[in-house]
Amino acid sequence: QKEVEQNSGPLSVPEGAIASLNCTYSDRGSQSFFWYRQYSGKSPELIMSIYSNGDKEDGRFTAQLNKASQYVSLLIRDSQPSDSATYLCAVKVYGQNFVFGPGTRLSVLP
């Protein structure tokens, strides 16, 4: 059974700090990796996708992928209170469907 694991949190960081969110997955055939942000009571919002080993940066967000170790991470630099949300990791094998992790709750303290 394909699994995606995340620490449920909450992960608390002070405003301005770097938040580091981690995700591991079980299926070595996974090819596409996504991070979604979900505010309480709202639907998930896609913030990053990554397909190749290494880092991908988009503004304050950096996604890191290591297929050999089967982990993907999301770094949020200069964290803001508005970044407080649940961050969902999603993994996809080509031709198959998305598997989501349980999410990590991030709290950025002013």
Partner 1 sequence: ETGVTQSPTHLIKTRGQQVTLRCSSQSGHNTVSWYQQALGQGPQFIFQYYREEENGRGNFPPRFSGLQFPNYSSELNVNALELDDSALYLCASSLGGSGDEQFFGPGTRLTVL
Residue 84 CB neighbour total at 10 angstroms:
20
49 binds partner 1 (CB under 8 A): yes
When binding is defined by CB under 8 A, the residue of 47, 50, 74, 88 that contacts partner 1 is 88
40 binds partner 1 (CB under 8 A): no
> What value, to the nearest 5°, has the Cα angle with vertex 5 and ends 64 and 79?
50
When binding is defined by CB under 8 A, the residue of 7, 27, 61, 100 that contacts partner 1 is 100
Q: Report the half-sphere exposure of 104 (CA within 13 A, side-chain side).
A: 24
When binding is defined by CB under 8 A, the residue of 14, 15, 46, 78 that contacts partner 1 is 46
